[in-house]
Amino acid sequence: MKKLISISLAAILLGVLFFSSCAKEDPATPNDPSDPRAKFHGHWYVTENSQDFGASTYYSDITDSTNASFILLSGLYGYNVKTHATVSGSNFSIPSQAFPAGTISGNGVYTNSTLINLTYYVRTTTTHYDTITASLTK
């Protein structure tokens, strides 16, 4: 009985290892030079200054949206949500959209492969906007 349990556990362990090694990996975000969104892709370190909350730092990922016109920025204003923005050359614009704190809008400029400057506004009440300036660096 003890031997049967040991063999069963070994078989289960081998099965788990085999199937987990075959798991499909997510491909890296392609860096297609013909796609104007490609230069924005990546894992960025954000240093921002909020008029309401002062300085803070965190990471943001910029990825493509399923809509070819947009990029997605994660983590803005400390929220674990994705904000969409439209790209035009080295600039992007965050159109006004719903956000956990109210609404968000703004714009950014791709300076070089290691720096994006961003200014955005979070409308937290019907009469108040928090203005945030940020530098995204790689």
The full set of domain ranges for the chain reads 38-137
Query: Hey, which CATH number is domain 38-137, 3.30.2290.10, 2.60.40.10, 2.40.128.420, 3.40.50.10490?
Result: 2.40.128.420
Q: Which helix (H) or strand (E) holds 43?
A: strand 42-50
Residue 90: is it exposed, middle or buried by C-beta count within 10 angstroms (0-12/13-18/19+)?
middle
Least confident of 34-38, 52-56, 81-85: 34-38
Least confident of 26-30, 36-40, 73-77, 130-134: 26-30
Structure tokens at 18: 């085999």
Contact 78, 98 (CB under 8 A): no
CA distances from 15 to 1, 5, 6, 100 (A): 21, 15, 14, 43
Contact 47, 34 (CB under 8 A): no
Q: pTM for the whole thing? A: 0.74
Model confidence at 3, pLDDT cuts 50, 70, 90, reads low
For the cut 50, the answer to whether the pLDDT of residue 24 exceeds it is no
For the cut 60, the answer to whether the pLDDT of residue 138 exceeds it is yes
For the cut 80, the answer to whether the pLDDT of residue 17 exceeds it is no
Q: Which helix (H) or strand (E) holds 10?
A: helix 2-21
Model confidence at 75, pLDDT cuts 50, 70, 90, reads very high
Please tell me the distance from the alpha carbon of residue 39 to that of residue 110, in angstroms, as a whole number. Answer: 8
